[in-house]
Structure 1
Amino acid sequence: MKIHSATAALVATLMCAAGTVLALPAASQKPATAAAATTEGINWYEGDVDAAFAYAKANNKPLFLYWGATWCPPCNQVKATIFNRQGFIERSRFFVPVHIDGDSAGAQKLGERFKVRGYPTMILFKPDGTEITRLPGEVDAERYLQTLTLGISANRPVRQTLQAALAGGKLTADEWRLLAYYSWDTDEQQLVGRKDLPATLKRLAAASPAGDIANRLALSALVAAGTAKPGESGVVDKTVAAAQLNKTLSDVRSARENMDILTNYPVELVQLASDPKSASRTKLLAASNLAMQRLSVDATLSKTDRLSALAAQVSLARIDNPDGALSPALIKEVRQKVAQADSATTDAFERQSVINTAAHALSDAGLLDDSDSLLKAELKRSHAPYYFMLSLASNAKKRGDKGAAINWYEQAYQAAQGPATRLQWGVAYLSGLLELAPQDETRIEKVAHGVFQELGGTQNAFYERNRSVLERLGQKLTAWNSGGSHEAALGRLRGQLDGVCVKLPTADAQRATCQGLLSPTRA
């Protein structure tokens, strides 16, 4: 799930028809190695994932895999708006629900196996273990349940459907809908490589039946182009893109249908489709703001989604003037709607998502003190307060208060729980030090030593999400030592890491990853 605000993105990088109801088998009927945890009426498998797949195959049931983390705001949003819905609970009787917590034993190795990295990722498998589709976590609950139902009844996996569509084959309306609502954000390039995604989605939009599906695929193609790395977006016709956006934004139903795309990528879409200070941009901004205003008061949306639309207004107001002052009316609106959401949200899962979005809306609006007050109050209520400490660090950094920012990074790391989470938060602390206090070699080495020490005691520590976090850290430490200015300290850290690497089996892919993290050849 993408968090659209600039501050939230920074924090995120440092670390995101029911038919006949069938009775669920009793836990005792499941394999003894698979521990079942019944929560909110859903009999989740926890633990032995292979046993869950074997059970699904033996009972000819699809398998639903949810990969998440305790602290992750989008994960908590899914729990508060989808997993607790009677419609989802009823559908869960048709499949085997499996939960993998990113901090559980062996989770990161499973992440490598299933090619899941971002939290949350939700995948539907056939009884034989073939992946059917990846489900979009940011659409509203009704759309999610419809997509889930389509996946359960699908005759072929999305991979085959995509191949057929690109080859000019005939697809059913339901197959086109599964393609349109596929979670390209959590695909991890399983179906399409990143550089090919914009062009592929554009081809699908052109080949699909005219209407809602074609429109969503076209918007997804624009998002892929707008978020691509330089040189990977292909040629985008701004006139065509602007027409597509204006058509969607001006249609109340269409804007609501695609609210996840519009609220998560407001700036990227407008920038892609128009030039600064052009008449086209003025028109697009007016249409975008009006659509966001409607969505921000749409009672059919969750509180987080409404706040996301509000935050999108802030981002759009700053699109051509990042440091410019916002209108008093918008400032007042941000304060009022955040206060209303804070007061109205009592569910603990929902609060993790709502307060996150609200705090970033305040921060992006320049209301840093308001954002801090909201976050500090939530530290006493949240089941994962260390997540909000990173937001407090980000606010302090915005103020230019390096000492306070580093202090919050340190507190967040000290409070973090779970091996994968502690690694990510430790790297966030180290990254903060490398950026804000690069001269403090003693502290940097001490923190890095502590992170590597924990790493050495963690099983399967160099897989998937962990691996990407460590590789970024290796790059930052190497850059810090540019010119050999910190060679002695980095040499000691290399020695410590070598001691971790040598304990890994020679044939284990983790060993090569470990040995490459601080390799002198990186310099």
Structure 2
Amino acid sequence: MRRHLTLVARAAILSTSLWLASLPVAAANPPGPGVAWIAAAADAEVDAAFTQARSEKKPLLLYWGAKWCPPCNQLKATLFNRQDFIAQSKNFVAVYVDGDLPGAQKLGARFKVRGYPTVILMNPEGVEITRLPGEADAPKVMALLQQGLAGGRPINAVLADARAGKKLAGNEWRALALYSWDTDQDTLVAEAERPALLAQLAAACPAKEAESSTRLLLKALGASDDGKGLKTDAALRTRIGKVLADPAASRAQMETLVNDARDITRALAPDEGADRARLVTAFDGALKRLQADATLSRADRMSALIARVDLARIELPKDERQPKLDAALLKDVREQVTRDDRDISDGYERQAVITSAAYLLGQAGLWNDSDALLKANLAKSHSPYYLMSQLGGNARKLGRNDDALRWYQEAFDKSEGPATRLQWGASYFTALVELAPQDAARIEKTAAQLFGEAAQDKGAFYERSARSLQRVGTKLVAWNSGGKQAAAIERLRTQLAGVCGKIDAGDAQRATCDALAKSLAAKPAA
């Protein structure tokens, strides 16, 4: 196979082999102190943890995350280090799966986890009790965890009873309301059916469980496809308006309000006009209170400010780069970012907050501020390649394509871990094809490098890694439109077919790899 490769492709494979040979064996990096975390990256290791759970008659808590992931770092900074979490950990077997460890992506397929972070509480037999909401503030997550540890029923049984109209206990309604629907991965319900299900649950929830009913309704609105899902009316707008006006009620719904403000607003008021303007004003008032709430984490307060900017942009195209925002709002943005950058001392919190702050500055049109913040934090971040990707994104949005490619390449070069490297490499490759399609040598070299790294990764065709490689394949097919790059595509297809041929025929990855290689062999569109 190799004799058919160009010198460019051969050089890529050689550099990949040298890079992989230089890597140290992945070291354990527990998500937090004081907890007896068990590192797992293979079925046998997880099975051993379940054996321990059955022996000790304890549930098992599975945490799936990655070093660079901002929400994962937020969990480390606000939940896993809490004394009550550490104390409760004695009542469960704690397992963490680093998505970059060998075999981790296969475990992702086993437990239907894709997004980082995902936190699942299971009984000793492996039945899910619940998925914990990583976006909720820590006290709510702790309440749901304690409920599960106290003998809570599996969430699928609770949902089945709710759909059948059976009576549920108050804590079961709270379990449904706080369930991490965003990381459900079609475990309980298909994503397309989620808004209707959440609305159904909200309507069935008894009046005495008003907080749970409101949370389910807000989640339904937030998931309703930019105003095209649920039918709304004046009565529903009035109900949500009362939540926004009530400090206690809006605080109780904090994470849903700050994360879904724009979608909720567009669902309740799909058209421009007085109804939407009133709703935006009411929402902004609630978000201002949350932004100033010292009981919330810095990340949550930053999210409230991001939501305010999102609402201020609601009548603008999503890709507007230079929005004209109120001077007072811009002042709030600059002051909060400056204050957080100055005051944060915890590395996990910095990774969570500064990345959000840089996004916020860009959304506000303060691109120079965003770039400056990211550059100043490169040396302070334990995963600087994440910030480099943001710098690449900023440059691309502003039409600075050479700068964008330089940052994307540096982010890929500095990235660590097999799954992360494939993900960052796919992002760099996508930018290459879209911004410099004429650079055939560079495109082929990068694709060959990624296929070479996949060959060295035993889990490259599972979950996140598989999707990264499929993105590369899709871009290669588009690049070869009309057969313009047929020779390069054939060399890459030959290389990939060789990778697939080394995967055991009984391994589920083989079919994924073969399908990707076959897609490169397909006749290109004219």
TM-score (norm 1): 0.90
The aligned counterpart of 1:20 is none
* SS state at 1:336 partner: helix
**8 Å CA contact 2:309, 2:363 repeated in 1:** yes
* SS state at 1:369 partner: helix
Cα distance in 1 for residues equivalent to 2:230 and 2:144: 31
Determine which of 201, 206, 211 is the counterpart of 1:209: 206
Cα distance in 2 for residues equivalent to 1:285 and 1:411: 40
1:75 partnered with 2:72: yes
1:200 partnered with 2:233: no
Please list the CA deviations of residues 219-261 of structure 1 after superposition, one character each: whole Å capped at 9, or x if unmatched: 1111121369xxxx64522545533432322221121111111
The aligned counterpart of 1:433 is 432
**8 Å CA contact 1:219, 1:244 repeated in 2:** no
**8 Å CA contact 2:122, 2:130 repeated in 1:** yes
1:185 partnered with 2:182: yes
Determine which of 302, 309, 316 is the counterpart of 2:311: 316
The aligned counterpart of 1:407 is 406
Determine which of 30, 38, 41 is the counterpart of 2:34: 41
Letter aligned with residue 91 of structure 1: Q
The aligned counterpart of 2:232 is 237
Cα distance in 2 for residues equivalent to 1:199 and 1:418: 39
Where has structure 1 moved over 4 Å in runs of 4 or more? 35-39
Would the alpha carbon gap of residues 39 and 296 (structure 1) be closer, same or farther in structure 2, given more than 3 Å must change?
closer
Cα distance in 1 for residues equivalent to 2:258 and 2:234: 21
1:477 partnered with 2:470: no
* SS state at 1:339 partner: helix
The aligned counterpart of 1:302 is 297
1:283 partnered with 2:278: yes
Would the alpha carbon gap of residues 63 and 299 (structure 1) be closer, same or farther in structure 2, given more than 3 Å must change?
same
The aligned counterpart of 2:288 is 293
Written as runs of structure 1 = structure 2, the 5 A alignment for 1:336-347 is: 336-347=335-346
1:492 partnered with 2:500: no
* SS state at 2:223 partner: helix
The aligned counterpart of 2:124 is 127
**8 Å CA contact 2:418, 2:457 repeated in 1:** yes
Structure 1 residue 468, shift from structure 2 partner? 2.1
* SS state at 1:225 partner: coil
Would the alpha carbon gap of residues 39 and 192 (structure 1) be closer, same or farther in structure 2, given more than 3 Å must change?
closer
Please list the CA deviations of residues 126-172 of structure 1 after superposition, one character each: whole Å capped at 9, or x if unmatched: 12221111000111111110011111123420001000000011110
**8 Å CA contact 2:229, 2:267 repeated in 1:** no
**8 Å CA contact 1:238, 1:272 repeated in 2:** no
**8 Å CA contact 2:78, 2:297 repeated in 1:** yes
Structure 1 residue 321, shift from structure 2 partner? 2.1
The aligned counterpart of 1:58 is 55
**8 Å CA contact 1:36, 1:45 repeated in 2:** no
The aligned counterpart of 1:372 is 371
Cα distance in 2 for residues equivalent to 1:522 and 1:336: 55
* SS state at 1:275 partner: coil
Structure 1 residue 397, shift from structure 2 partner? 0.9
The aligned counterpart of 1:504 is 503
Q: Which segment drifts farther, 458-467 or 79-88?
A: 458-467
The aligned counterpart of 1:32 is none
* SS state at 1:301 partner: coil
Percent sequence identity over aligned pairs? 50
The aligned counterpart of 1:328 is 327
Structure 1 residue 205, shift from structure 2 partner? 0.6
Please list the CA deviations of residues 406-439 of structure 1 after superposition, one character each: whole Å capped at 9, or x if unmatched: 0000000000000000010000100111221122
Structure 1 residue 332, shift from structure 2 partner? 1.2
Structure 1 residue 374, shift from structure 2 partner? 0.8
The aligned counterpart of 1:226 is 225
**8 Å CA contact 1:102, 1:420 repeated in 2:** yes
The aligned counterpart of 2:85 is 88
Letter aligned with residue 383 of structure 1: H
Letter aligned with residue 432 of structure 1: A
* SS state at 2:296 partner: coil
Structure 1 residue 511, shift from structure 2 partner? 1.0
CA-atom RMSD in angstroms: 1.7
Structure 1 residue 482, shift from structure 2 partner? 2.3
Would the alpha carbon gap of residues 400 and 38 (structure 1) be closer, same or farther in structure 2, given more than 3 Å must change?
closer
Letter aligned with residue 140 of structure 1: D
Structure 1 residue 53, shift from structure 2 partner? 0.8
Runs of at least 5 residues in structure 2 that lack an aligned partner in the other structure: 1-27
